[in-house]
């Protein structure tokens, strides 16, 4: 039993997703590996363009063309309670990267076992279909229920996520709802089939602070009730501190550090993580104290530096090593891995 | 929604009024007052108009009175269905026009339907399979539609038919059924002859709609809600057809209103080239012969027809786009 | 380092060298930027060249024609195009064969047969009918021609003749001149109307906007050709060609200004909310100044594009009207007038070369459309 419980729900190994374009190849995800335990919340942080969203989409197989997964494995451990899964003896672990993106196997998982919510709830709902119909569609797609039952479930789901007057809201268009309500509706749509993993791509970035905390609280509550895992993608370290149990830090398509959340905040190992934490304004800092940004800027995607991607901006750059070889992700403590030559 | 339809109906009424004024202007334009020329024309053809008749006509049309009175009198007659007499044919205008107007409607509507049924799937295909062979073929056909004026296209096709098949592919009916009374056979004959005029008339509109649909759909396909739909696990075809196409349909639908006048307009010349028994050839002859009542009435009726069609398409648009129903400001 | 070419280079960080290339981009004017973008659009460039060629014909129509377009010759009626031989043996000496009229023994119709014995040399800068080049210099030189005598066997008809025996090539040259200039004048008028009304509509908004908008909608819902036919037919028969020419232009542009007005209005509406316009007003610029100095330059490029796109419609309208016999009438020559002879399928079946004037119409429409598309893409700063 103990062995089963430590088997990760999602295990990504060496994922590479490239975009082949006329002007060059963008290596949006260039060798990403991490683990997500069942029921845990994994925070994925990094600057814009570091490949967080592409990673999420690679997991679900919905990378926009011309992007493609070119290497790597995504091991997903399906819940044995699901219909269609094998018996108790064998865990049903499948490699999502190997599935044809639009095949029936992948589509059966999408929405039903792994769900995705987006940053912009306004544009993530169809402007001409009612919110309820979009939720019900997801339900009818993955469960054998009638239209009426699906609608009832949709209303239930809306109620569960805290939408008032769900019977009315279910027929409204997305532009008739406020930002917070829309995000709740989005969560309702994602959770309508009770997935075991919820990937949230910057779910609160477009919301004001008050609504943000409400949505996060809602997500925590639903996670407790359903026992689902959350992969929370954000650039906001505050959200990570509040929600995550484990954290993955990404830079230019690579994982530079993965650790439990306390270790990340109190004992960051990778220079990039340290720089990120230094750049956050602190409540207790002295007035007129300057913020410490990270030197330099994110390189152009066609212009990646050789060796360690962070070396041009790294305060602990070691000439001859960091600009020649690429560091690999190595464990330095329990559950804590770093990709840096300082530690290997 | 009712407010919207009400506004469109009001606009339609204004448009009809504008057309009636313009039609009246056409009737009035030749020098001299039209009753006098009518009498003169009838005389030159050997029919005599008695003085009483002449006087009745003068009062009926308000000659000698200010022009707006004349206009009102004419409108009064029109509303009662009296469109005047055709000088050339020496019969009431309504008789002369006869079923030609209906045939014009049939041809125009067929062209419109053809435009839609062709433009929609081709536009969707072009957007989804960008840069494929099909896309290029569609673009090429589109260029023909845009670059070649419809009457020239008609000419070339007629010529081609003549030279290649030694057949006259113009006309709406086979010679033997041309004047026959309506029957199932005649309807079928009409249906067989319709595709070519409908295609010629509709090609320019189709080309334009394909471009619009393609551009709109390309825009929509990049939007986040498409990704949402995909992330729910929907099959790709449903993802495209149910969501972005539906949204791209709205601006597409709003252009029907302006395709109809264009098609009706084009049908005039094309029907001349193809020898169709519609209103077009009649109008041209009337204008050349200065048969003003006939000409003005045709213009008026054509305009009316177009406005009615546009109004219907506006109502259809409301049905398609729920956003108009709701944002009723 | 291969970097994708963009017009907007990232601002160099302090300390980085500003290269000469970057400098050019930073100080490039709006027109230069537009030209650079336009240059990439190959099809538009080709179209621009074609249109330039067309207008060369417009200016030099007299020179390029070789036969008086109005002289008819019943004997030469409906001659097919003659084949031009460029090389006589090995020499570069263009010539055509003489023509013999003959009677087809079966149909008894007049038939033209090329006489291989007779070689009629084609001269460059030959003498022909008299005209005034550019309306100023009297001369009788033409691009090509054949020697002197109007001998029935020694003629050149590159594109054949029409029913009245008039050379089609020469008439086509003159027709191009009229067809393309009517388009220009019509568009100019539409432009004036469109800019004024669209500008008023967009800038002032409110009631003026609503009224003008409704008028535009009404005009757009009216089928144009029946109206044009009616108005054109009403022109008195005794008007001179010039009067008819202008009247037709006015009639066509009366309905054609709506598209331009919509573009102008749209631009005004969009620009009104722009910060730079608001700040111009706040700084104290008068309304006139705001409009003409600040706003108009922003959408000049769009207007140019829209105007170019409006030309083909004008050309086609005139062609259509003349084709029906309601527009320009002989002895005026335009593409439409030329095509009038091709109205009848029987005629065309026997003399298909009568349809040739359709070609320049199609080419001109396509060229203007592509050019307009290219200009529109180049003018749009947010396009890619």
Q: Which residues lie across from C137 on neighbouring strands? A: C133
Share of chain C above pLDDT 90, in %: 0
Would you call A126 and B243 a contact, using CB atoms and an 8 Å cutoff? yes
Average pLDDT over residues C99-120: 69
Provide the mean pLDDT of chain A: 83
Average pLDDT over residues C144-172: 72
What per-residue confidence (pLDDT) applies to A51? 84
Do residues C95 and C85 lie in contact, with contact meaning Cβ atoms separated by under 8 Å? yes
What per-residue confidence (pLDDT) applies to A245? 92
Residues of B in contact with A112 (CB under 8 A): 233
Those chains having 3 or more beta-carbon pairs within 8 angstroms of chain B are A, C
- Measured from the Cβ of residue B318, the count of other Cβ atoms closer than 10 Å reads 17
Residues of B in contact with C369 (CB under 8 A): 146-147
Confidence of residue A260 (pLDDT cuts 50, 70, 90): very high
Which member of B231, B321, B326 has the closest CB to residue A111? B231
Residues of C in contact with A300 (CB under 8 A): 3
What per-residue confidence (pLDDT) applies to A231? 93
> Would you say residue A247 has pLDDT above 90?
yes
Torsion (CA) B292, B294, B298, B301 in degrees, nearest 10 = 110
Confidence of residue C154 (pLDDT cuts 50, 70, 90): low
Which member of B147, B287, B310 has the closest CB to residue C230? B287
> Would you say residue C323 has pLDDT above 60?
yes
pLDDT digits (tens, 9 = 90+) for A101-141: 888 888 888 888 899 988 887 788 888 888 888 898 888 88
Question: Which of B237, B254, B228, B281 lies closest to B103 in space, CA to CA?
Answer: B281
Confidence of residue C148 (pLDDT cuts 50, 70, 90): low
Report the half-sphere exposure of C291 (CA within 13 A, side-chain side).
14
Do residues C26 and C135 lie in contact, with contact meaning Cβ atoms separated by under 8 Å? no
Query: How many Å lie between the alpha carbon of B7 and the closest alpha carbon of chain C?
Result: 11
Residues 6+ apart with CB under 8 A from A271: A310, A314, A315, A316, A340, A342
pLDDT digits (tens, 9 = 90+) for B72-85: 877 888 888 777 77
Average pLDDT over residues B308-327: 69
Would you call A303 and C1 a contact, using CB atoms and an 8 Å cutoff? yes
Distance between CA B151 and CA B204 in Å, rounded? 11
Q: Which residues lie across from A246 on neighbouring strands? A: A42, A260
Tell me the ipTM for this assembly: 0.80
Question: Which of A253, A273, A279 lies closest to A337 in space, CA to CA?
Answer: A273
> Would you say residue B314 has pLDDT above 80?
no
Those chains having 3 or more beta-carbon pairs within 8 angstroms of chain C are A, B
Q: Does the CB of C356 have a partner CB in chain B at under 8 Å? A: no
Most confident segment among A112-121, A256-265, B281-290: A256-265
Query: How many Å lie between the alpha carbon of B308 and the closest alpha carbon of chain C?
Result: 10
Residues 6+ apart with CB under 8 A from C297: C30
> Would you say residue B226 has pLDDT above 60?
yes
Would you call B323 and A137 a contact, using CB atoms and an 8 Å cutoff? no
Question: Residue A173: what are its φ and ψ, rounded to 5°?
Answer: -85, 160
pLDDT digits (tens, 9 = 90+) for A28-45: 888 888 888 888 899 999
Q: Does the CB of B322 have a partner CB in chain A at under 8 Å? A: yes
Cis-peptide into A66, omega within 30 deg: yes
Average pLDDT over residues B272-297: 82
> Would you say residue C365 has pLDDT above 60?
yes
pLDDT digits (tens, 9 = 90+) for A184-233: 888 888 888 888 899 999 888 878 888 888 888 888 888 888 888 999 99
- Measured from the Cβ of residue B125, the count of other Cβ atoms closer than 10 Å reads 18
Confidence of residue C381 (pLDDT cuts 50, 70, 90): low
Pick the residue from chain A with its C-alpha nearest to B232: A111
Do residues A17 and A63 lie in contact, with contact meaning Cβ atoms separated by under 8 Å? yes
Interfacial C residues in 9-48 facing A (CB < 8 Å): 13
> Would you say residue A80 has pLDDT above 60?
no
Question: Residue A171: what are its φ and ψ, rounded to 5°?
Answer: -100, 5
Share of chain B above pLDDT 90, in %: 0
Residues of B in contact with C339 (CB under 8 A): 152, 155
Would you call C2 and A24 a contact, using CB atoms and an 8 Å cutoff? yes
Residues 6+ apart with CB under 8 A from C277: C271, C290, C294, C295
Pairing state between β A10-21 and A24-36: antiparallel
Would you call B234 and A60 a contact, using CB atoms and an 8 Å cutoff? no
Do residues B117 and B123 lie in contact, with contact meaning Cβ atoms separated by under 8 Å? no
Label each residue of chain C as H, E or C: CCCCCCCCCCCCCCCCCCCHHHHHHHHCCHHHHHHHHHHHCHHHHHHHHHHHHHHHHHHCHHHHCCCCCCCCCHHHCCCCCCCCEEEECCEEEEEEEEEEEEECCCCCCEEEEEEEEEEEEEEEEEEEEEEEECCCEEEEEEEEEECCCCCCCCCCCCCCECCCCCEHHHHHHHHHHHHHHHHHHHHHHHHHHHHHHHHHHHHHCHHHHHHHHHHHHHHHHCCHHHHHHHHHHCCCCCCCHHHHHHHHHHHHHHHHHHHHHHHHHHHHHHHHCCHHHHHHHHHCCCHHHHHHHHHHHHHHHHHHHHHHHHHHHHHHHHHHHHHHCCCCCCCCCCHHHHHHCCCCHHHHHHCHHHHCCHHHHHHHHHHHHHHHHHHHHHHCCCCC
Pick the residue from chain B with its C-alpha nearest to C326: B288
Those chains having 3 or more beta-carbon pairs within 8 angstroms of chain A are B, C
Pick the residue from chain B with its C-alpha nearest to C223: B261
> Would you say residue A84 has pLDDT above 70?
no
Residues of A in contact with C1 (CB under 8 A): 303
């Amino acid at each position: 039993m103990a062995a089963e419980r430590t088997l990760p729900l999602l295990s990504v190994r060496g994922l590479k997703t490239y975009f082949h374009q006329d002007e060059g190849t963008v290596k949006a995800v260039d060798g990403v590996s991490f683990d997500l335990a069942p029921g845990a919340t994994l925070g994925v942080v990094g600057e814009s363009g570091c490949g967080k969203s592409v990673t999420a989409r690679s997991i679900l197989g919905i990378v926009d063309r011309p992007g493609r997964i070119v290497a790597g494995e995504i091991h997903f451990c399906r819940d044995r309670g699901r219909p269609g899964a094998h018996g108790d003896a064998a865990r049903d672990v499948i490699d999502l990267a190997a599935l044809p993106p639009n095949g029936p196997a992948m589509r059966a998982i999408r929405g039903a076992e792994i769900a995705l919510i987006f940053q912009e709830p306004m544009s993530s709902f169809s402007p001409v279909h009612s919110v309820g119909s979009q939720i019900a569609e997801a339900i009818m797609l993955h469960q054998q229920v009638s239209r009426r039952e699906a609608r009832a479930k949709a209303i239930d789901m809306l109620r569960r996520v805290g939408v008032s007057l769900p019977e009315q809201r279910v027929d409204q268009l997305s532009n008739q709802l406020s930002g917070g309500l829309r995000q709740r509706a989005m969560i309702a749509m994602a959770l309508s089939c009770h997935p075991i993993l919820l990937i949230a791509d910057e779910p609160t970035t477009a919301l004001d602070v008050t609504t943000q905390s409400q949505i996060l609280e809602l997500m925590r509550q639903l996670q407790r009730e359903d026992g689902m895992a959350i992969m929370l993608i954000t650039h906001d370290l505050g959200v990570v501190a509040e929600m995550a149990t484990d954290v993955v830090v990404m830079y230019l398509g690579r994982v530079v550090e993965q650790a439990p959340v306390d270790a990340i905040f109190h004992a960051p190992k990778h220079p990039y993580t340290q720089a990120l934490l230094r750049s956050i304004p602190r409540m207790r800092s002295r007035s007129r104290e300057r913020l410490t940004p990270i030197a330099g800027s994110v390189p152009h995607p066609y212009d990646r530096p050789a060796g360690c991607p962070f070396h041009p901006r790294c305060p602990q750059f070691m000439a001859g090593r960091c600009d020649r070889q690429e560091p690999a992700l190595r464990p330095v403590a329990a559950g804590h891995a770093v990709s840096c030559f300082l530690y290997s | 929604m009712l407010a919207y339809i009400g506004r469109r109906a009001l606009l339609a009424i204004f448009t009809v009024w504008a057309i009636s004024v313009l039609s009246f202007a056409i009737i009035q334009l030749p020098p001299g007052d039209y009753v006098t020329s009518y009498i003169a024309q009838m005389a030159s053809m050997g029919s005599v108009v008695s003085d009483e008749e002449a006087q009745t006509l003068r009062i009926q049309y308000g000659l000698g009175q200010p022009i707006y009175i004349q206009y009102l009198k004419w409108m009064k007659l029109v509303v009662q269905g009296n469109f005047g007499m055709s000088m050339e044919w020496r019969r009431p205008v309504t008789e002369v026009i006869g079923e030609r107007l209906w045939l014009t409607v049939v041809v125009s509507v067929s062209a419109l339907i053809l435009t839609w049924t062709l433009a929609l799937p081709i536009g969707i295909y072009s957007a989804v399979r960008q840069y494929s062979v099909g896309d290029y073929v569609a673009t090429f056909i589109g260029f023909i539609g845009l670059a070649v004026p419809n009457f020239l296209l008609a000419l070339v096709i007629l010529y081609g038919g003549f030279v290649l098949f030694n057949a006259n592919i113009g006309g709406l009916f086979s010679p033997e059924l041309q004047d026959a009374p309506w029957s199932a056979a005649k309807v079928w004959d009409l249906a067989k002859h319709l595709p070519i005029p409908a295609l010629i008339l509709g090609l320019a509109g189709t080309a334009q709609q394909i471009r619009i649909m393609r551009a709109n759909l390309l825009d929509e396909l990049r939007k986040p809600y498409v990704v949402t739909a995909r992330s729910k696990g929907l099959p790709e075809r449903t993802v495209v057809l149910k969501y972005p196409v539906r949204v791209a349909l709205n601006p597409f639908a709003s252009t029907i209103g302006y395709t109809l006048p264009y098609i009706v307009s084009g049908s005039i010349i094309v029907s001349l080239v193809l020898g169709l028994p519609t209103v077009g050839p009649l109008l041209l002859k009337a204008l050349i012969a200065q048969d003003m009542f006939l000409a003005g009435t045709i213009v008026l009726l054509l305009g009316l027809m177009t406005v009615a069609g546009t109004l219907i398409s506006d109502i259809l648009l409301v049905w398609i786009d729920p956003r108009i129903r709701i944002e009723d400001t | 380092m291969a970097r994708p070419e963009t017009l907007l280079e990232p601002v160099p960080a302090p300390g980085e060298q500003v290269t000469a290339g970057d400098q050019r981009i930073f100080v490039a004017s709006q027109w230069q930027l537009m030209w650079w973008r336009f240059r990439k659009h190959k099809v538009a460039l080709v179209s621009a060249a074609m249109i330039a060629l067309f207008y060369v014909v417009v200016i030099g129509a007299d020179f390029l024609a070789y036969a008086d377009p109005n002289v008819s010759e019943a004997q030469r009626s409906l001659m097919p195009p003659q084949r031009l031989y460029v090389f006589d043996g090995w020499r570069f000496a263009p010539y055509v064969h003489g023509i013999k009229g003959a009677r087809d023994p079966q149909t008894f119709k007049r038939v033209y047969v090329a006489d291989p014995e007779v070689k009629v040399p084609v001269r460059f800068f030959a003498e022909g009918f008299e005209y005034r080049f550019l309306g100023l210099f009297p001369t009788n030189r033409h691009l090509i021609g054949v020697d002197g005598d109007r001998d029935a066997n020694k003629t050149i008809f590159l594109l054949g003749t029409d029913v009245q025996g008039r050379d089609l090539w020469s008439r086509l040259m003159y027709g191009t001149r009229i067809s393309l200039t009517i388009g220009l004048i019509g568009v100019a008028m539409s432009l004036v109307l469109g800019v004024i009304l669209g500008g008023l509509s967009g800038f002032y908004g409110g009631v003026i906007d609503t009224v003008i908008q409704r008028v535009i909608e009404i005009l757009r819902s009216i089928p144009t050709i029946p109206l044009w036919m009616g108005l054109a037919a009403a022109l008195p028969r005794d008007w001179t060609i010039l009067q008819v020419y202008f009247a037709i232009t006015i009639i066509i542009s009366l309905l054609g200004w709506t598209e331009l007005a919509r573009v102008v209005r749209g631009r005004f509406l969009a620009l009104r909310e722009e910060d730079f316009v608001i700040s111009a007003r706040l700084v104290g610029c008068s309304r006139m100044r705001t409009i003409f100095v600040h706003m108009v330059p922003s959408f000049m490029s769009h207007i140019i594009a829209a105007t170019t796109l409006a030309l083909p419609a004008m050309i086609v309208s005139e062609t259509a009207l003349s084709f029906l016999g309601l527009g320009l009438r002989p002895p005026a020559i335009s593409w439409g007038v030329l095509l009038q002879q091709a109205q009848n399928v029987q005629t065309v079946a026997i003399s298909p070369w009568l349809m040739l004037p359709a070609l320049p119409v199609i080419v001109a429409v396509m060229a203007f459309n592509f050019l307009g598309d290219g200009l529109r893409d180049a003018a749009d700063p947010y396009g890619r």
